[in-house]
Chain A
């Protein structure tokens, strides 16, 4: 080990990060992504614009419309327009759904005759359409069963769901998305930085300095990755503060576990970047390749859009091949659940992450060449 050389190299790396303003990227990008996604992604639907065409004007139909008017889920408008005009307003993207109450709705209902309520939902935004449709059906059927109970139409008891949502009681989007975003960002950002650090030297030709220097491969990597590792370690804390204080995500687990597993995860991410820089020779290609390799699995297998338990077939297997799933399990545990090391699964996942780090890092070291091609 040539400690003074390594020290000089590390110093040079720090200086370079600072001078090329790459340091702004190191701190700006992760926080920006978390803030943007955190504010920009809203999966829950509130204030859906619903147009109600009430052709009946009876007590029942008014009861129904008032149900829609008094909830935060809908912005209801009761209008007397033709179906065609309602449809046009959907086409102009001014309305999300139309509810049509038929004439003599109350009369038929009281006589026990079938009556039909029409629902039209704009499905250009499919997920929202499903949610809106579910809300509408729920509201209508809820009102209906209330009426039925009062009118003695059904003889059997009323079944209610006594829901106890775990981990994210208010079902806030922030609680669900922000920890997953930390998992995504800590995978992408260090990988890009590590990929750039080596490819840049290749592109500019300064890599020959390393070829000619007495530094060994391991020492070179140490000098290259140590600054990146250190700088991104600070991001762990910044992201934590953003999550807890800006988005008010609860933190129920142990901070030590969060911190240690995140450091481990950064190491994995740096190794991925290193592997990419071994095979590419141009910066722009390295960046694009890193983004492709890390962002898509980082999203898909993060568990924030879709629980891993709901995956089937190949995607279930693929999810297990990427480190994201394991880290995010620990991450969500520290934020929302708080089992900590008491759970066997978490210890196992931690060990798997260690395995990932060791394998990827040694692969990168082995493949890096210290000579001309």
Chain B
């Protein structure tokens, strides 16, 4: 046990001594999470709308006045359809509305009145949401004297605030990437420098060396998580925490160990730091993207859905979302904990044996 503590503190010390690495870790846990969270905004905002109005005002202007901030910028008037479509082609305008001259007449006389809509659908999801907004505005407009109220509640995140969500997702990706790379580097560095052989000559049980070394990296990442939670997640973005903080820390701890297992595997097969970087990226990218960070798992291709069952990250992401936003009770978290634990044990044992063979 004393030896274990010694190795852990030695690793922590050598981590703190390499300033470059410390800076990279600090950056990833703070600035990177912050930039991702504050920068990426997927909801339509400030959409530029252009319109051509041949009706001479009235109903068309009433509809246009319903397009307001923050989703839409004040609509811009164009004199001809040609000018409008040119602006759309040059991507200066995203939505074009054309009111034909018989629009108002048709509307007043109770016939079908048509608004022509030109939409740049290059950014498909944004255009889709914009289209939904526009449709709702028009339906709203005509059902004003209709006795139906829709009471809509967005649970857990009333304003559908994307920043907190993206920041949290980014933090999970950072944890995954760092724990794998850090663990792998600790071992490969020794291989590269040749100190590995010296380690073997010491009368210390190699199992303890491996355990202690990977544990020290888990500690570093856990410290980073606390920093990131304090300064960025709760500090800058005010992410709600509806569940238990300790449940999250426990889940993170288990998850870190399982990812450290992947790191051990990477270390066992690569010869130098460069190969570690390449291999980790090749392994981690699919893990991160197919585990529900950007798209919920059930919305993915069925093949990927099955594959993601074997990814500890999938359980970690779903579990974290449940803890932070849904505020799920501890008992209902069992699928996530057992998923992370089972896969984690398997991965860690596999990595442990793989790197143990080097002795």
Contact = CB atoms under 8 A, between A and B. Distances in A.
Interface of A: 20, 22, 25, 28-29, 32-33, 36-37, 39-47, 49, 87-88, 90-93, 108-109, 112-131, 133-138, 140-142, 144-145, 148, 153-169, 171-173, 175-177, 196, 200, 282-285, 287-288, 292, 296, 299-300, 303-312, 315, 329, 332, 336-337, 339, 343, 345
Contact of B281 (A29, A131, A133, A300): A29
29 contacts: A32-B286, A33-B285, A39-B300, A93-B318, A114-B149, A121-B153, A121-B154, A127-B42, A127-B43, A128-B296, A129-B154, A134-B136, A137-B139, A141-B136, A144-B143, A145-B143, A159-B115, A166-B88, A166-B120, A168-B127, A172-B124, A173-B125, A175-B122, A284-B274, A287-B277, A303-B122, A304-B123, A308-B91, A309-B91
Q: Which 6 A-B pairs have the closest CB atoms?
A: A43-B125, A134-B132, A176-B124, A168-B121, A123-B157, A124-B325
Contacts of B42: 43, 127, 305-306
B273 A164 contact: no
Contacts of B112: 157-158, 160
A102 to B, nearest CB: 10
A149 B24 CA distance: 63
Contacts of B161: 126
B171 interface: no
Interface stretch (B2-10, B33-41, B206-214, B350-358): B33-41
Interface in B311-335: 318, 321-322, 324-329, 332
Interface in B122-166: 122-129, 131-136, 138-143, 145-158, 160-162, 165
Interface of B: 20-21, 24, 27, 32, 35-36, 39-48, 63, 88-94, 106-129, 131-136, 138-143, 145-158, 160-162, 165, 185, 273-274, 277-278, 281-282, 285-286, 289-290, 294-296, 298-301, 304, 318, 321-322, 324-329, 332
Contact of A90 (B106, B110, B326): B326
B122 A305 contact: no
Nearest to B321: A124
Contacts of A161: 114-115, 117, 134-135, 138
A120 B154 CA distance: 6
A43 B63 CA distance: 28
A123 B156 contact: yes
Contact of B110 (A22, A116, A157): A157
A90 B328 CA distance: 9
Nearest to B161: A126
Contact of A141 (B114, B139, B277): B139
Nearest to B48: A309
Contacts of B162: 126-127
Nearest to B124: A176
Contacts of B113: 157-160
B121 A169 contact: yes
Nearest to B324: A124
A87 B242 CA distance: 15
Contacts of B296: 125, 128
Nearest to A329: B91
A292 B239 CA distance: 24
B24 A285 contact: yes
A117 B122 contact: no
Nearest to B149: A116
Contacts of A303: 91, 122-123
Contacts of A158: 112-113, 142
Most chain B beta-carbon neighbours within 10 Å: one of A145, A310, A339: A310
A332 B131 contact: no
Contacts of A33: 285
Nearest to B295: A42
A299 B47 contact: no
Nearest to A108: B147
Contacts of B146: 144-145, 148, 153-154
A157 B286 CA distance: 52
A304 B126 CA distance: 9
B328 A91 contact: yes
Contacts of B89: 166, 337, 339, 343
A156 B111 CA distance: 8
A116 B92 contact: no
Nearest to B72: A310
Contacts of A20: 274
A123 B40 contact: no
A126 to B, nearest CB: 4
A137 B150 contact: yes
A40 B136 contact: no
Contacts of B120: 166-167, 307
